[in-house]
Amino acid sequence: MKKKKKLLFVVSLILVFAMFLGGCNSEKINTQDKQQTQDERSLNVVAQVNGNDILYSEFYETLSYLASRYGIDVGAEIEEEWQLEMLEDLKDQALEQVIEREVIIQKAEEAGYIVNDEAIQKATEQFNEIIGRIAADIENSDTSEDSDRDYMQEALEQADEELAEYGKTKDSYIEEAAQYKVMEDFLEEILKDVASSDDELRDYYNKQLQKQREDGIDPWGGEVSLIQQPEGRRVKHILIGLDNGNKTLDEIKPIAEEVLQKARNGSDFEALIEEYGEDPGMMGNDDGYIVAPNGQFVPEFESTSLALEEGEISDLVPTQFGYHIIKAYDYAQEIVFTFEEKKDELSMILDNEKKTEYYSQKIEEWKAASIINRFPENI
């Protein structure tokens, strides 16, 4: 059995824990405002789920966390138009998140997942681990010769101060951490059997393989690379660059023409790359680049490379990077990873997608079966 992995997508969707010791992303909540929330409960209820109130303080913490990700301080005066528009969208998101959180808490309790002594004990151990790390940091940065310093006590005092700034105490932090852990355990339980079949994985593998053949792989898309070596023309090139934009194509053209002439007169192309080339990707790259018609290179570079025959040297190829002198080598055959080689990686992605979809469906079902009242006038 594989070790159960934490459901990061669940955490990112609804388990927004805005209070972290040693570095909190949410904005500080004035303790006076928090007291007002308690004293004026009826005026500060932003929503109700099956009769349970959701207070403005909880909404505000979530909103502050979301806004901080965009560099917006909800406690400050906001003048930028885009920030005002973004904040309105974030208010809607924050309200839905706290509603979903309350729905999940209620469903978890129905299933027997409640904050009990065991959950509190685990949260307390987590808190103590955090304090231990803070104490170790204090000790490691201590340059004094005071051997009587109690680093653990200092760490506790520091934590108390930070918690107080956010209107919290050690006990409320532990209670909150225990609640989130119970929610996480509940969600993991209902999602544990949601997984992809072999047929689904093979279909996913084939579709992704075709997509990567046509479009290449998106380095930021979280895709599993299925093509070890694409089919295409292997090339090497000499780039005469624009000196980070400080020169024009006209200014570098004389040196580019000189290097091109040397290449065509029989000078060793590898030596010319080493002497004149300015593409860091070519340094120490014995294999060069494999260019396929998939848009992974700038259009001028791609089309020229694919038009060359083995051993042929191109004319000067101008791009936004400068002038390229391209030499064609052999035509590389495609090498792909087998389904079995990539099955586990593909399973992680597809299983996560299926769990996310199932989770979203369950949330909508639970919300539809709940009596939810929203009070946007209190936001």
Residue 207 inside a domain? The answer is no
Residue 214 inside a domain? The answer is no
Asked if the model's pLDDT at residue 2 lies above 50, the reply is: no
Asked if the model's pLDDT at residue 27 lies above 60, the reply is: no
End-to-end CA distance of the chain: 47
21 and 161 in one domain? Answer: yes
131 and 30 in one domain? Answer: yes
- In 3D space, the residue among 319, 186, 338, 152 whose CA is nearest the CA of residue 242 turns out to be 319
- Collapsing DSSP to helix, strand or coil, 86 comes out as helix
pLDDT band at 79 (very low <50, low <70, confident <90, very high): confident
Give me Rg for the CA atoms of the chain. 30
Residue 7 has what pLDDT? 37
Which uninterrupted H or E stretch holds 151? helix 151-165
Instruction: Go through the chain and tell me how many residues it has.
Output: 379
Range of the domain at 294: 231-333
The larger pLDDT score, comparing residue 41 to residue 219, is at: 219
pLDDT band at 61 (very low <50, low <70, confident <90, very high): confident
Q: How far apart are CA 168 and CA 71, in angstroms?
A: 24
Computed over every residue of the chain, the mean pLDDT equals 87
- In 3D space, the residue among 203, 212, 204, 202 whose CA is nearest the CA of residue 232 turns out to be 212
Q: How far apart are CA 379 and CA 369, in angstroms?
A: 25
16 and 111 in one domain? Answer: yes
364 and 273 in one domain? Answer: no
27 and 93 in one domain? Answer: yes
Residue 217 has what pLDDT? 81
Residue 64 inside a domain? The answer is yes
Q: How far apart are CA 326 and CA 282, in angstroms?
A: 12
Cβ atoms within 10 A of the Cβ of 59, count? 23
Q: Which residue has the tokens 């060793």?
A: 268
Asked if the model's pLDDT at residue 251 lies above 80, the reply is: yes
- In 3D space, the residue among 113, 111, 97 whose CA is nearest the CA of residue 10 turns out to be 97
Residue 219 has what pLDDT? 67
Percent of the chain residues past pLDDT 90, beyond the cut: 70
Burial class (CB in 10 A: 0-12, 13-18, 19+), 157: exposed
183 and 319 in one domain? Answer: no
pLDDT band at 214 (very low <50, low <70, confident <90, very high): confident
178 and 99 in one domain? Answer: yes
Residue 220 has what pLDDT? 75
Residue 178 has what pLDDT? 94
Residue 65 inside a domain? The answer is yes
170 and 51 in one domain? Answer: yes
105 and 46 in one domain? Answer: yes
43 and 177 in one domain? Answer: yes
Domain count, the chain: 2
180 and 100 in one domain? Answer: yes
- In 3D space, the residue among 129, 130, 136 whose CA is nearest the CA of residue 162 turns out to be 130
Strands (E), the chain: 45-49, 52-55, 227-229, 232-241, 289-291, 317-319, 322-332, 335-336, 372-374
Is the pTM of the predicted complex or chain greater than 0.95? no
Residue 346 inside a domain? The answer is no
CATH number at residue 122: 1.10.4030
Answer whether 134's CB lies under 8 Å from 22's CB. Answer: yes
The larger pLDDT score, comparing residue 27 to residue 102, is at: 102
Q: Once rounded to an integer, what is the mean pLDDT over residues 239-247? A: 93
Residue 219 inside a domain? The answer is no
Answer whether 170's CB lies under 8 Å from 159's CB. Answer: yes
Residue 215 inside a domain? The answer is no
Residue 280 inside a domain? The answer is yes
366 and 321 in one domain? Answer: no
DSSP secondary structure letters along 302-318: HHHHHHPPTT-B---EE
Residue 236 has what pLDDT? 98
Query: In this predicted model, what pLDDT tens digit does every residue of 136-190 receive, in sequence order?
Result: 999 898 887 767 889 999 999 999 988 887 778 899 899 999 999 999 999 999 9
Q: How far apart are CA 63 and CA 46, in angstroms?
A: 13
